[in-house]
């Protein structure tokens, strides 16, 4: 997977694609600047991604999880949601909210969703 960080003014977004814990460890070992306000959670919120050390390095305020409703894989996994919750990370899930759009003016981040997550 391609992993990229987008900086806009004082805000940053980290897109991790389907990167799993091995890739996260490689990024940490390489000393990459991973800190970001918004994290697109790896591999649809699977327990194979979003390791503890990685989340601590990114330290996001917001996480986006792209996953289909009722998917056969059980994404997002409960342990990842618990890990986000323990860190007070706001989570937006496409299975619940539909399309999720993040916008920034370089200082503030706004979020629009297709529907209210219930």
Band (14; pLDDT cuts 50, 70, 90): very high
pTM of the model: 0.91
- For the chain, give the percent of residues with pLDDT over 70: 98
Strand partners, 5: 14
Band (118; pLDDT cuts 50, 70, 90): low
Tokens 């977004």, located at residue? 13
Q: For all residues of the chain together, what is the average pLDDT? A: 94
Quick count: other Cβ atoms within 10 Å of Cβ 79? Answer: 12
Residue 37 pLDDT:
98
Token digits for 82?
């618990």
| Mean pLDDT score, 24-33 | 97
| Mean pLDDT score, 64-89 | 91
Band (43; pLDDT cuts 50, 70, 90): confident
């Amino acid at each position: 997977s391609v992993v990229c960080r987008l900086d806009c003014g004082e805000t940053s977004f980290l897109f991790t694609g389907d990167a799993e814990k091995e890739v996260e460890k490689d990024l940490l070992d390489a000393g990459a600047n991973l800190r970001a306000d918004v994290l697109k959670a790896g591999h649809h919120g699977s327990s194979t991604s979003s390791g503890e050390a990685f989340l601590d390095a990114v330290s996001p305020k917001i996480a986006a999880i792209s996953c289909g409703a009722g998917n056969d894989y059980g994404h997002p996994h409960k342990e990842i949601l618990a890990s986000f919750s323990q860190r007070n990370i706001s989570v937006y899930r496409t299975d619940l909210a539909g399309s999720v759009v993040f916008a920034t003016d370089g200082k503030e981040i706004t979020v629009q969703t297709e529907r209210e997550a219930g």
